[in-house]
Amino acid sequence: MKAVCTLCPRRCSLEEGQRGFCRARENRGGQVVCTAYGRLTSLALDPIEKKPLRRFFPGSRILSAGSYGCNLRCPFCQNWEISMADAAAPTTAVSPEALVRRALELRPAGSIGLAFTYNEPLTAYEYVRDCARLAHAAGLKTVLVTNGCFLREPLEALLGDIDAMNIDLKGFTPDFYRLVGGDLRTVQEAITLSAARCHVEVTTLIVPGLNDSESEMDAEARWLASVDPELPLHVTRFFPCHEMQDRGPTPVETVLRLRDAAARHLRWVYTGNC
Ligand code: SF4
């Protein structure tokens, strides 16, 4: 029996046994199930600033978990080894209970809770939800690092279990989102919805020749300020990787120029990898 996944705008319509575009979900017996549930490719205790979050428990650390799969196809993906992987990826099985237990054990090391990151965590929506609920019940903080390209209903249902998010705003034109296989309006809606419910910071990776114009950054920052002028924005540098090896790293002066353009509208603008 066919099944339709209603997590993201792709709305994959799947035949029995067929996996979704994100490679983390599959039709089993007429139900879309998450094949990445509890299967971790990465687990590390990171500084919170690495998420990046600069205005949420600064100086703390957080147990950060990643799996495999992604619903976008950014040619410049920095984590492509896991985001483009599928169920054949080497993983470690970690139940929500075990993950929360580990996060609690790490409290003396400065950990405030759990972060879902590295690949696109929301393709393993059910795992994030189950872990986040348990983490909250145990008094831990929860952080989600996402591309934000997910539909309103599942996102809203999760927000009560999430304390902070970093959402990518990859560019500010429909063309840029076409390049990465996403949808600008969906991401804008995710930022607006989330910022009303939890702490949100936004990241834009500046790719030379693609989204490095001052006018695009001006429009982006102006829009973010219309959501909340206190929203922190991280403007970060691209380095050649994955399928994008045809250009050099973003010049530092470009990042600084765009930071200054964004700072005309937003109070908190940070640079990354400079
Ligand atoms: S989350 Fe995955 S399976 Fe679901 S619609 Fe998006 S790409 Fe398809």
Residue 157 burial by Cβ neighbours in a 10 Å radius (0-12, 13-18, 19+): exposed
Using a 6 Å cutoff on CB, does residue 72 contact ligand 1? no
pLDDT single digits (tens) 180-212: 999 999 999 999 999 999 999 999 999 999 999
Beta bridge partners of 142: 114
Whole-number Å distance, alpha carbon 93 to ligand 1 midpoint, is 22
Assess contact for 188 and 177: CB atoms under 8 A: no
Nearest atom (ligand 1) to Cα of 122: 1
| CA distances in angstroms from 62 to 100, 113, 146, 163, 193, listed in the order given | 12, 5, 16, 13, 24
Give residue 193 CA to ligand 1 midpoint distance, Å.
20
**Is residue 273 within 8 Å of 237, Cβ to Cβ?**
yes
> What is the distance between the alpha carbons of residues 38 and 117, in angstroms, rounded to a whole number?
14
| Sequence-distant (≥ 6) Cβ neighbours of residue 253 within 8 angstroms | none
Domains for the chain: give ranges and CATH numbers: 36-272 (3.20.20.70)
Q: Whose CA is nearest to atom 2 of ligand 1?
A: 22
pLDDT digits (tens, 9 = 90+) for 78-118: 999 999 999 999 999 999 999 999 999 999 999 999 999 99
Give the pLDDT confidence score for residue 274 in this predicted structure. Answer: 80
Name the phi and psi angles at 224, rounded to 5: -60, -40
Ligand 1 atom 3, closest CA? 20
Encoded tokens for 197: 């419910």
Q: How remote is the C-alpha of 234 from its chain's centroid?
A: 13
Determine the residue of 11, 22, 150 to mutate for testing ligand 1's pocket, defined as the one with the most ligand atoms within 8 A of the Cβ atom.
Answer: 22
- The residues pairing with 165 across neighbouring beta strands, listed in sequence order, are 144, 200
| Helix 184-195 with 214-227: angle, nearest 10 deg | 40
Side chain identity, residue 154: P
- The Å distance, Cα 54 to ligand 1 centre, comes to 30
pLDDT of residue 273: 82
Per-residue confidence (pLDDT) for residue 36, from 0 to 100: 98
Compute the distance from residue 10 Cα to the ligand 1 centre, in Å.
6
Using a 6 Å cutoff on CB, does residue 187 contact ligand 1? no
Q: 20 CB under 6 A from ligand 1?
A: yes
The pLDDT value given to residue 272: 87
- Say if ligand 1 is within 6 A of residue 155 CB: no
Tell me, what's the pLDDT at 3? 98
Enter the pTM of the model.
Answer: 0.97
Element (H, E) at 233: strand 233-237
Residues of the chain with pLDDT under 50: none
C-beta separation of 162 from 200 below 8 A: no
Q: What angle do CA 189, 122, 234 make, to 5 degrees?
A: 60
